[in-house]
Chains A and B, each alone.
Chain A
Amino acid sequence: DAKTTQPPSMDCAEGRAANLPCNHSTISGNEYVYWYRQIHSQGPQYIIHGLKNNETNEMASLIITEDRKSSTLILPHATLRDTAVYYCIVRPLYTGTASKLTFGTGTRLQVTL
């Protein structure tokens, strides 16, 4: 899996949008950008993934730059329950190779009142 770079920590006020950046300058053409989050002492939770178009689901939006070298995960109205470590991962899709998630240290998002 290609390497990603994320800030170690971020703060966000409750009700505001949380914008979490991720750099993946070595991403290759067949690799997708995935986001997971891990609330303290729980298993990671899948959030969203995308290739080159912006994606939105009920949890978040994913904005990928045109050159695909970076992306931003947006939580539109952060709540205290969104406090977690957020992991950005790039990995190929449907290549026939065995699946493995390579987690870095992620961004610790603290949502405050």
Chain B
Amino acid sequence: DGGITQSPKYLFRKEGQNVTLSCEQNLNHDAMYWYRQDPGQGLRLIYYSQIVNDFQKGDIAEGYSVSREKKESFPLTVTSAQKNPTAFYLCASSIRGLAGYEQYFGPGTRLTVT
């Protein structure tokens, strides 16, 4: 089955530690995205990548880093510089990175930092 996988579903970390969230897609999509969702809020874009080896900052990139070495993978690292890292993180992909193409979402990773 084609789709987007995120692992793990729940992640717990101590404050001051970096943590990497996994996102893999087998849809052969060019573009991939990372969003953050806080309780009762909509989604906010962290980073996006329109093509391999290229990525752009979204609205709230501070404290996060990404890489796009392979078409199917777009890992997100939450660094210790992110002041409020506890949130629900969603990865998405689309055929192309241009406005208008539907985005398909993974199941999400809920990160708790204490």
Contact = CB atoms under 8 A, between A and B. Distances in A.
Interface of A: 32, 41-46, 49, 87, 91-106
B105 to A, nearest CB: 3
A36 to B, nearest CB: 8
A6 to B, nearest CB: 11
A62 B35 CA distance: 26
A98 B56 contact: yes
Q: Which of A96, A100, A103 has the most CB of B within 10 A?
A: A100
A87 B103 CA distance: 14
A57 to B, nearest CB: 12
Given A43-B92, A105-B42, A99 B103 contact: yes
Nearest to B6: A43
Nearest to B31: A99
Given A41-B88, A44-B90, A105-B42, A98 B107 contact: no
A91 B96 CA distance: 15
A41 B110 contact: yes
Given A100-B58, A101-B43, A105-B42, A94 B104 contact: no
B88 A44 contact: no
Contacts of A104: 42
B41 interface: yes
Contact of A43 (B42, B90, B96, B102): B90
Contacts of A94: 98-100
A107 B103 CA distance: 20
Interface in B16-46: 31, 33, 35, 40-43, 45
Contact of A93 (B45, B99, B110): B99
Nearest to B96: A99
Contacts of B50: 98
Contact of A99 (B4, B40, B98, B110): B98
A94 B101 CA distance: 8
